[in-house]
Amino acid sequence: MIGTTRLSVTTVPNISKQWVEWDVTDNVQNIVNQQQDNCGWAIRDEKLYHINIYSTIAQFQSKESKQNAPELVVVTNNNNPSPPAIFGPSTGRFGMMFEYVFFLEDPDGQDMYLWVEWSGNCPKEEWIGPFASVDKIVIPNIWNGTGNYVIRAKAKDIAGLKGYWGTLEISMPLQHRTLLERIVEWLICLIVSN
């Protein structure tokens, strides 16, 4: 019960040491969606019965019980988020800033977090977000040198279920540059890496 609101009702069997189940799916979903506070549940008889004194008929084990302690069984139909779609320049000149766009989609419509790995000597991003499903995230990056790189990204929904990697291959080819251009690019790389 929440306050005086009944969440679920079940008939208790007239046999001892039996499991009794209540369906609290809607209540748990409201808690996950932050539409309701998680205050726990009170399990009790609906009314008192007279035996020798006024008492309840059913008795339940507490969480401290060594046998048959209560359990919350969670069954989910959660699907993995889709691999992020990554768009942006796949070739160019190193030392320049490029913007990369990550599209996230969750089949269940849940909010998600994004993890990005920039290959080479660029650091990993921590989990960032949350973002809404079908959100577009723009992240700039500067490639520090010539070569081939791979951007890897994956999504994690708010329930903690991770998706598969999405990738984009990048090529920063060796370009003919004057000595002055090389010095400027070297200084840019030096500044970016610090």
102-113, pLDDT tens digit by residue?
999 999 888 999
H or E, element range at 184: helix 179-193
Phi, then psi, of 157 in degrees rounded to 5: -80, 170
Percentage of residues in the chain with pLDDT exceeding 70? 68
Please give the Cα distance from 176 to 185 (Å, whole number): 12
- Given this model, what pLDDT does residue 152 score? 92
66-101, pLDDT tens digit by residue?
766 777 666 667 889 999 999 999 988 878 899 999
Give me 7's structure tokens: 């969440």
Model pTM? Answer: 0.53
Phi, then psi, of 85 in degrees rounded to 5: -85, 130
Print pLDDT tens along the chain (194 aa).
445 666 666 666 666 666 677 777 777 777 777 787 777 777 666 665 555 555 556 666 666 777 667 776 666 678 899 999 999 999 888 788 999 999 999 998 889 999 999 885 555 668 999 999 888 899 999 888 888 899 999 999 988 889 999 999 998 886 666 788 778 877 877 776 66
- Given this model, what pLDDT does residue 188 score? 79
Cα–chain center distance at 123? 21
Is the distance from CB of 103 to CB of 135 less than 8 angstroms? yes
- Given this model, what pLDDT does residue 1 score? 42
Per residue in 78-116, is it b (16+ CB within 10 Å) or e — as a string?
eebbbbbebebbeebebbeebebebbbbbeeebebbbbb
Give me 188's structure tokens: 């840019």
Please give the Cα distance from 84 to 55 (Å, whole number): 58
Where in 24-111 does DSSP place strands (E)? 49-50, 54-55, 85-87, 97-103
- Given this model, what pLDDT does residue 159 score? 85
The residue among 46, 35, 37, 38 whose CA lies nearest residue 8 is 46
| Domains defined for the chain, CATH in brackets | 1-75 (no CATH), 85-193 (2.60.40.10)
